[in-house]
Structure 1
C-alpha cells in the first residue's frame, strides 16, 4: 500500500525548498525522475523506492482542497500550491519520510499539510539495504509505481477520504490500457470516489475493489463478492453473490443529482472555441459558468474556453479529456471530451449537479437548454436523468438508486437521418416538442419527472422507434 501526504503551501515550492524537503532522508538517499520530470522519486542508496513526489500544482479554483480532502483541511485561499508525496508502506521509514518532506515544505513556504498531523521536519534515518540488492532501470513506457503487478492486472491500494482522478492515477490508467492490463483500485469501505474517477474506470476489466469489514472483498460499484484468483480480482462463485456490506449500509436519501449527457458537432473553423455547450448547460442549471477546469483532480485552472481550445488544438488529432467544476456552494462537476471526426469537431459532455433535499431541481430548465444547444452548438443528442444520490457528487461503495430518464433530445442532423414524420410519432403517450427551425428541426422528448422507473421503458421504446426509421426526411 502507499500512503499519501499533501503539502498545501502559500508560496511556490522552488528548487531550494524542494531540496531542503527531500533532504529529510539524509544525504545517503538518491533521486530519480521520470522522463518529463513530473515525478521525483526518493530511493535508498541501493535504489529501493521510498517516496514519490509529484510536481507542484498551482490551484486557482476555490473549494478543491475541501472537496477532495475534507471541509477543515485548509484556511488557504487560492491560489496555493498542491504538492503530493506518496510513501511506500512496504518500507517502515517511508511514511515518516513523506511526513517530513511535506512538513518541511509548509515550514519554509507557509501553509498546511494533509493529514494535519504530518508536521514533522525531522531527519528520518533509513535502514541499510541487505547485500546484493540493486536498483533496476525501468524500461520506457513502464507502468507508474503500483502496489501489485501481474500479467493481467495492476493493483493500487489507496486510503484517503475521497479518491479522485489524480494526475498519477490518470497515468496509471493510460499505462494499464496500453499494456492490456486491468486496473484494480483497492480501498477500505470508508473511501469515496469522485465521479471523474468512476467514469475513468469504465467498468470491467477495471474495478473498484473494497475490503469487506466481514472479511474478503467486494466490487464497490456492483456489490459482487470478489476473490483473488489467477493474479486478479474476480467474482467468487458460481453462483455470484452480492456482499451484505454493499446492501446493509445503504439508506434512502432525499438528495438528488441531475445529469445531462450531450454531444455536439461543430465545423472545424479556425475561430472555433470549445466549451460553449458545457458552459451553456452549466448556466441553465446553476445560474453561473463553471469555476475551474483541468485535466485531473484537483481541478486547478480558472474556467477558460480559450485555454481549453488551445489544449485541444495542441493535442489534435488525439482526443482531449478535461474536467470542470463549479463553485463550492453549488456542487457540480463535468467531464469533457473533444475528438476530431469526419463530420467535424465532436464535444461530449457529462455534467452532474447536486441538489440537497431542500433544494429545487430545475427540471423546467431542460427544454430551454436543449433549444439553445440546438440553435447555437450543433446538438446531436442529449439525455437528462435524475438520481437519488449524495449531493456532494461522491460515490460510496453501497447500493444506490439507479438514474431515471427525464428527457431525451434528438438533434436536427439525426432527425433528418431518421425522418421527421417517423421521429415525431413515437408510440408514447407524450409527444415531442419541435425545436430548431422548420428547415432543420430537432425534437425534444419529455419522459417524466425522474421519479418513475417506467421512464426507462419509455426511453427504450423511443430509441427502438428512432432506430427503425425509414431514413428519409419528411
Structure 2
C-alpha cells in the first residue's frame, strides 16, 4: 500500500535540507519537478517517480496535525508541513520517503509521521528499481488508472482533502473517470472529502478481513471487476430486488452518545467590490460556540488563521471560477465547514455545509438557533438554511460503518424568498407549530421548527410537506 510520509518542522526546510532529503536514494537518483514546480520527484533511471514531494506548507492553525494524523508530537504553531508520497508497490520507495522525512525533521527541527516510517537517515539501496509506468505515475496521488476510474490508495488515520487528493479529483473529472479511494479498515474520512466526492463510480473502498472490500459509505460488498471496484451481484438478484450484500463490519453500530449539530445554508450577495465574504459563517460560529473559526484553507490541513478579508481576496482572484474552502474550529469544540463561493447571475453565492461535534455530557446550543438564524436573515442576505441533529461522532470524521442520518430541527427561509411568495403562504403552513418571524415585520424571514427527534425519522416527512407547501405543490 502507498505510504504518505510527512515532516513536521519548526523551520521551513531550506534548499540544503530538501537536497539532503532527496539524496536519500543516493546521488545517482534523478530529480524532476512537476505541477509548475510545486511537486519535486525522486525518479528511477527511466525518469519515473519513486517519491513525490509537495512544497512545504506553513501551518498556523492549532490542532490540525492531531485532527488529521492523530499525533501530539507536532511542533507548536506555526510549523511547516511537508508531504512525501511513495510510489505504489515499491518497498524501497516507501523507505526513501521515510528517510527523506527523517532527514528533513533532523535538519529543520521537528518530527516525522508516521514515526515507524522515518527511523533511518541512511541511504536507501534502490538500484535497479522499476516503478509504475505513466500515465498512472504522472499524477502523484493516483496509484491505479483504468479507462473507468482512477484509484488512490491511502494509509492514513484520516483521508483529508489534501492538495494531492484535490488534484486527483480534478484530474479524474477532467478525464471523465470516477475516483475510488482505497483505505485499510481503521481509516476515517474527513467531511471535506465526503462533500467533494462525486457520484458513481466514485466511492470509498475499505479493505476488510471477512468480506474483502466494501463501500465505506453504504456497506455494499465490493469486488474488483471490469476495471473498477463494483458491488457484488448475488445469484438470483434482479433490478427490483438487487440483494446487495452488506459487510458485517459496516453493521457494527456503536452508540457512544455523541452528537453532531449540522447547519447547511446559502447566502446571495450583490456583486460589489466592497463585499467581504465569510461573515455569515463567522456569525454562525460565534453564535453557537462563542468564538470565531480557528482557521481556513483551500485544502486540508487548514493552514491559515481565520480572516474574512484574505478569504475574500482568494475568491475574487479566482473569479469567475468557483472557490472551494475548508474552515475549522479549535480542538475544544470540533467544527468543520466546507464553503463553495460561486459567481452567478444573482450575485455572489456562498454555499456552506457546517457541523459541530458534542460529547455525551455536552449540551447543544439549541436555544441559540433562532437568534443565529435571525442574524443571518437580517445581516447576511440568507436565502435558506436547514438545521439537523445527528447521532454521530464528536470528532466529525466519518467512520467506515453505519451512522444514522440526521433529523431536521428547523428550516429557515430568507426575506427575499418570503417576499416572492404569493399571499400568506410562508405563514400558513401544514405544520402543527407556526413559524417564528425573524427580522422586521415589513421584511420578515421565517424560522420553521421541526420535531428534531434523533430516534424518529418522521421529521423528514414533515420537512417534505413544508417544502412542497412553500413551492406551491
| Counterpart in the other structure of 2:107 | 108
Give the distance between the partners of 2:386 and 2:424, measured in 1 at CA.
21
Give the distance between the partners of 2:16 and 2:423, measured in 1 at CA.
67
Give the distance between the partners of 2:127 and 2:141, measured in 1 at CA.
21
Partners of 1:381 and 1:409 within 8 A in 2:
yes
* TM-score in terms of structure 2 length: 0.95
| Counterpart in the other structure of 1:387 | 390
Partners of 2:327 and 2:337 within 8 A in 1:
yes
What is the CA-CA distance between 1:268 and the residue it aligns to? 1.2
Give the distance between the partners of 1:144 and 1:425, measured in 2 at CA.
56
Compare 114-123 and 319-328 and name the one that shifted more.
Answer: 114-123
| Counterpart in the other structure of 1:268 | 271
Q: What are the equivalent positions in structure 2 for 1:188-199 lying under 5 Å apart?
A: 188-199=184-195
What is the CA-CA distance between 1:247 and the residue it aligns to? 4.1
Q: What are the equivalent positions in structure 2 for 1:307-456 lying under 5 Å apart?
A: 307-419=310-422, 421-451=424-454, 452-456=456-460
| Counterpart in the other structure of 1:472 | none
Change (3 A) 1:94 1:134: closer
| Counterpart in the other structure of 2:471 | 467
Partners of 1:412 and 1:442 within 8 A in 2:
yes
Matched, 1:284 2:287: yes
Give the distance between the partners of 2:247 and 2:183, measured in 1 at CA.
17
Partners of 1:385 and 1:450 within 8 A in 2:
no
Give the distance between the partners of 2:367 and 2:453, measured in 1 at CA.
12
Partners of 1:102 and 1:119 within 8 A in 2:
no
Compare 30-39 and 394-403 and name the one that shifted more.
Answer: 30-39
| Counterpart in the other structure of 2:60 | 60
| Counterpart in the other structure of 1:17 | 17
What is the CA-CA distance between 1:134 and the residue it aligns to? 11
What is the CA-CA distance between 1:92 and the residue it aligns to? 2.4
| Counterpart in the other structure of 1:219 | 215
Change (3 A) 1:146 1:418: same
Partners of 2:151 and 2:180 within 8 A in 1:
yes
Give the distance between the partners of 1:381 and 1:135, measured in 2 at CA.
49
Q: What are the equivalent positions in structure 2 for 1:122-271 lying under 5 Å apart?
A: 122-128=122-128, 143-237=139-233, 238=237, 239-271=242-274
Give the distance between the partners of 2:318 and 2:154, measured in 1 at CA.
31
What is the CA-CA distance between 1:304 and the residue it aligns to? 0.4
Compare 11-20 and 227-236 and name the one that shifted more.
Answer: 227-236
Give the distance between the partners of 1:419 and 1:167, measured in 2 at CA.
47
Give the distance between the partners of 1:241 and 1:95, measured in 2 at CA.
37
Q: List gaps (5 residues or longer) in structure 2.
A: none
Change (3 A) 1:421 1:291: same
Change (3 A) 1:168 1:456: same
What is the CA-CA distance between 1:371 and the residue it aligns to? 0.4
